């Protein structure tokens, strides 16, 4: 595969909904990005978390460095022919016990009048993954009144943020408790057609299960990120719920699970 992955890897550091770096930025090979450049392009979020690849949380400068080093070290890539799991020497996924008990809270104080909208959207979005893979998300509403990044009664928390850097962001299964948040920007409650909040959450929940952006399976997407992934199905799926439409994707409606997404999710969580 082509080796300009490190150039493109942060091309998608924008909102989920706004364009990745255009193909023109990737038309030629450039020198690999330095760590300083990599860090400068990350979005500094709350609690010493940095957001990379558009909507993915990494903890601290140490986490940024580890991600950068692992990407540079993994120079060979694993290009294969829908869904791809985060892979660093092994799949980054939940064990079967935790996968069946993915508890979360929804912060009633941060969402305020939007609280019930978020609860409903989370119910719908989690149901989409539960219907196809052996995973189970549980809304532990007893923690909603104290739903913070340090709430140890749940696997992850769902809170509102006022950032304009993304519509929402999530985490991967190897994050520690403080980084395991789904943060939803106030902008996600505005006009985001053809997407819906539920569609955005379907995408974000894919990350929480370990799934990478589908567009990183193709340098031609213009949004290639890195090679730390393993393909779960034999076909690159431009319509995947994990593929940004603006990265030469083919999904023109809301973000929904495709047949390849479903088979990929079942393959990882049988």
Q: Which is nearer to Zn ion, 55 or 59 (CB)?
A: 55
Beta sheet of 49-52, edge-to-edge order: 43-44, 49-52, 56-59
Count of residues that bind Zn ion according to CB under 5 A: 1
The 10 Å Cβ neighbour count of residue 261 is 28
Instruction: Identify which of 109, 85, 79, 82 has the alpha carbon closest to the alpha carbon of residue 172.
Output: 85
Min separation Cβ 54 and Zn ion, Å: 5
Contact indicator for 211, 221 with CB cutoff of 8 Å: no
Min separation Cβ 78 and Zn ion, Å: 19
Q: Which is nearer to Zn ion, 108 or 187 (CB)?
A: 187
Instruction: Report whether the peptide linkage leading into residue 194 is cis, meaning its omega lies within 30 degrees of zero.
Output: yes
- Contact code string over 182-211 relative to Zn ion, x by CB under 5 A: ------------------------------
φ, ψ for residue 2 (rounded to 5)? -65, 155
Q: Which is nearer to Zn ion, 13 or 26 (CB)?
A: 13
Min separation Cβ 119 and Zn ion, Å: 22
Min separation Cβ 203 and Zn ion, Å: 6
Among 52-60, 70-78, 90-98, 149-157, the segment contacting Zn ion (CB under 5 A): 52-60
DSSP line for 84-151? EEEBSSSB----HHHHT-EEEEE-HHHHGGGHHHHHHHHHHHHHHHHTTSS--EEE-GGGGGG--TT-
Q: Which is nearer to Zn ion, 151 or 231 (CB)?
A: 231
Min separation Cβ 87 and Zn ion, Å: 16
Min separation Cβ 17 and Zn ion, Å: 11
Contact indicator for 236, 265 with CB cutoff of 8 Å: no
Residue of closest CB approach to Zn ion: 55
By CB under 5 A, is residue 55 in contact with Zn ion?
Answer: yes
Among 53-61, 108-116, 194-202, 224-232, the segment contacting Zn ion (CB under 5 A): 53-61
Min separation Cβ 164 and Zn ion, Å: 17
Q: Which is nearer to Zn ion, 45 or 55 (CB)?
A: 55
Among 25-33, 50-58, 140-148, 259-267, the segment contacting Zn ion (CB under 5 A): 50-58
Q: Which is nearer to Zn ion, 151 or 228 (CB)?
A: 228
Strand partners, 169: 183
Q: Which is nearer to Zn ion, 55 or 261 (CB)?
A: 55
Q: Which helix (H) or strand (E) holds 254?
A: none
Q: Which distant-in-sequence residues (6+ apart) come within 8 Å of 266 by Cβ?
A: 132, 133, 134
Q: Which is nearer to Zn ion, 153 or 194 (CB)?
A: 194
Min separation Cβ 233 and Zn ion, Å: 18
Contact indicator for 9, 41 with CB cutoff of 8 Å: no
Contact indicator for 257, 132 with CB cutoff of 8 Å: yes
Query: Binding residues for Zn ion, per CB under 5 A?
Result: 55
């Amino acid at each position: 595969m082509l080796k300009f992955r490190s150039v493109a890897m942060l091309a998608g550091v924008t909102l989920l909904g706004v364009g990745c770096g255009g193909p023109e930025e990737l038309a030629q090979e450039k020198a690999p990005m330095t760590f300083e450049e990599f860090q400068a392009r990350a979005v500094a979020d709350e609690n010493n978390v940095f957001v990379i690849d558009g909507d993915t949380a990494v903890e601290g400068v140490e986490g940024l460095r580890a991600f950068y080093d692992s990407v540079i070290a993994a120079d060979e890539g694993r290009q294969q022919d829908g869904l791809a799991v985060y892979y660093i020497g092994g799949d980054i996924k939940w064990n079967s016990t935790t996968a069946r008990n993915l508890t979360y809270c929804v912060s009633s104080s941060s969402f305020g009048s939007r609280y019930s909208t978020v609860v409903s959207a989370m119910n719908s979005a989690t149901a989409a993954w539960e219907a196809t893979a052996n995973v189970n998300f549980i809304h532990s509403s007893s923690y909603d009144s104290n739903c913070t990044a340090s709430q140890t009664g749940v696997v992850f928390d769902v809170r509102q943020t006022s950032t304009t850097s993304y519509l929402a962001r999530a985490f991967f299964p190897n994050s520690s408790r403080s980084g395991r948040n789904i943060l939803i920007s106030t902008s996600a409650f505005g006009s985001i057609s053809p997407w819906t909040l539920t569609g955005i959450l379907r995408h974000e929940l894919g990350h929480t299960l370990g799934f990478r952006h589908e567009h990183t399976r193709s340098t031609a997407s213009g949004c290639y990120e890195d090679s730390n992934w393993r393909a779960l199905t034999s076909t690159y799926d431009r319509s995947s719920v994990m593929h940004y439409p603006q990265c030469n994707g083919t999904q023109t409606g809301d973000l929904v699970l495709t047949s390849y997404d479903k088979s990929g999710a079942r393959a990882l969580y049988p």
